[in-house]
Amino acid sequence: MTSWLGKVTWYTSVDLPLAEKVGKAFEAKYPGVTLRVERSGAERNFQRIGQEYASRIYNCDVVNSSDAAHLIIWKREKMLAAYVPEDVARDFPATHKDPDGMFASWRITLSPIAYNTNLVKADEAPKSFADLLDPKWVGKIVKAHPGYSGTIMTATQQLSRDLGWSWFEKLAKQKVMQVQSATEPPKKIAQGERAVMADGGEYLVLSLKARGEPVEPVYATEGTPLVTGPSGIMANAPNPNAARLFFAWSMTAEAQQLNVDAGGLRSAHPAVKEKAGVRKFSDIKTLREEANVVADKADEIKAQYVKYFKV
């Protein structure tokens, strides 16, 4: 019956198993529509979409980025189509939707510190970003890359603003293991490959912990970087109808609750209940997010980062 809807391609940077779970839930809700997940780091997707559009290749229907600046840039370049799902119009706070209806926050997460509880005792765990510079952490830290991950790009802007680039310069001397995706540091500490992560997606730490893996988040005394991941529909979406259907569904309380329960994400939807056993969002000191600054300074931030970390 709904087969005329066909398919929809979703570019996202959320952790792949969660993205596929969301896709399967959507397909179950609307039989006949198949959703194809195109997952990579937000910065990678941003580059890919740019490269594809330059060659007039329009593969992407719905886009979600962990770097909110991307939506600002795409809006500026008139690459987005206005569409306001019912839940967004009715329930979402103004800070989590674009006034022109181009995008809204599909997910919220943080980039905390975290550690492996088998390798580090709770009272010895770092309490702040400054603690990570202690010589005892040399060779024991893993962190992700702002050139790949939107979460890390967002976090790097906030940390460099509040702690100064000198903090990164010193951190780089701690023999940090450099991975790409913000989804990887939590996995690396769960494996026990490194004891501590300096950044990474909170939602993965929470999910791994819920699965019984030995990981524990630390919300630093300086505050924890806040990472909003908006979604929008591309103006040149090859499947505009299915795109709207998926985007609208993804913002419903039902879908947002799935993000929280199965994925450990936070939600801007007021009807969504926070996950039990997880620190309440309102109890966490967060750093101020400035997507508009990231939109203008991303290249500078990357260049500065590469200067200290070499890759």
Partner 1 sequence: MSLGRTEPSASVRSHTPRFDITRPALIGVALLLAAMIVLPMGWLVVYALSDRDGHATLANFVTLFTDAAFVEPLKTTLTISVSVSLICGLVASPLGWLVARTDMPLARTVRTLVMASLVTPPFVGAIAWEMLAAPNSGLLNQFWRALTGADEALINIYSLGGLIFVIACYTFPYVFILVANALDRMPGELEDASSMLGAGTWATARRITIPLALPTLLAGVLVAFLQALNLFGSPAILAIPAGFHTLTTKIWSLFQFPPKPQLAAAAAVPLLVLTIVLLRTQAAVLGRRGYAVLGGKYGAPRLIRLGVWRYPAAALAMFVLAMPLFLPYFALFNTAFSKMSSRLVGPETFTLQNFRFTFGELSATMPALQNTFTLAVAAATLGALLALLIAYTVARKAIPGYRWLSFLATAPLAIPGIVLGVGLFLAYTRPPLTLYGTLWILLIAFVTIELPAAYQQINSAFHAMHPELEEAARMLGATRLRTVRDIVFPLLRSAAIATWCFIFVGVIRELSAAVVLFTSETKVLSVLIFDLKESGDVGAIAVLSLSMVLLTTIVVVAANRFAVGFANRAPSRIGG
Going 198 to 204 to 210 to 211, the CA torsion angle's sign is negative
Q: Are 144 and 199 in contact (CB under 8 A)?
A: yes
Nearest C-alpha neighbor of 42 from the set 65, 15, 21, 19: 65
Q: Which stretch binds partner 1 (CB under 8 A): 107-115, 173-181, 229-237, 250-258?
A: 173-181
CB-wise, 237 or 268, nearer to partner 1?
237
Q: Which of 107, 188, 209, 244 binds partner 1 (CB under 8 A)?
A: 188
Does 59 bind partner 1 (CB under 8 A)? Our answer is yes
Select from 21-29, 77-85, 89-97, 228-236 the region that touches partner 1 (CB under 8 A). 21-29
Shortest distance (Å) from residue 41 CB to partner 1: 7
Taking CB under 8 A as the rule, does residue 216 contact partner 1? Answer: no
CB of 246 to partner 1, least distance (A): 13
Lookup: tokens for 231: 């979604």
- Options 2, 6, 24, 118; binder of partner 1; rule CB under 8 A: 24
Q: Where are the beta strands (DSSP E) in 43-137?
A: 62-64, 80-81, 103-110, 113-116
Smaller CB separation from partner 1, 98 or 184 = 184
Verify binding: residue 39, partner 1, rule CB under 8 A: yes
Is residue 21 within 8 A of residue 263, CB to CB? The reply is: yes
Kindly report the number of other CB atoms within 10 A of residue 241's CB atom. 14
In the 8-state DSSP scheme, what is residue 133? G
From CA 54, how far away is CA 51, in angstroms rounded? 5
Under rule CB under 8 A, residue 37 binds partner 1 = yes
Q: Does 213 bind partner 1 (CB under 8 A)?
A: yes
110 strand-pairing partners? 226
16's CB contacts (< 8 A; 6+ apart) are 37, 39, 183
**Site string (130-149) toward partner 1, x via CB under 8 A:** -----------------xx-
Which residues of this chain interact with partner 1, rule CB under 8 A?
9, 11, 15-17, 20-21, 23-24, 34-41, 43-44, 46-48, 50-52, 54-57, 59-60, 147-148, 176-181, 183-184, 187-188, 190-194, 213, 298-299, 306, 309-311
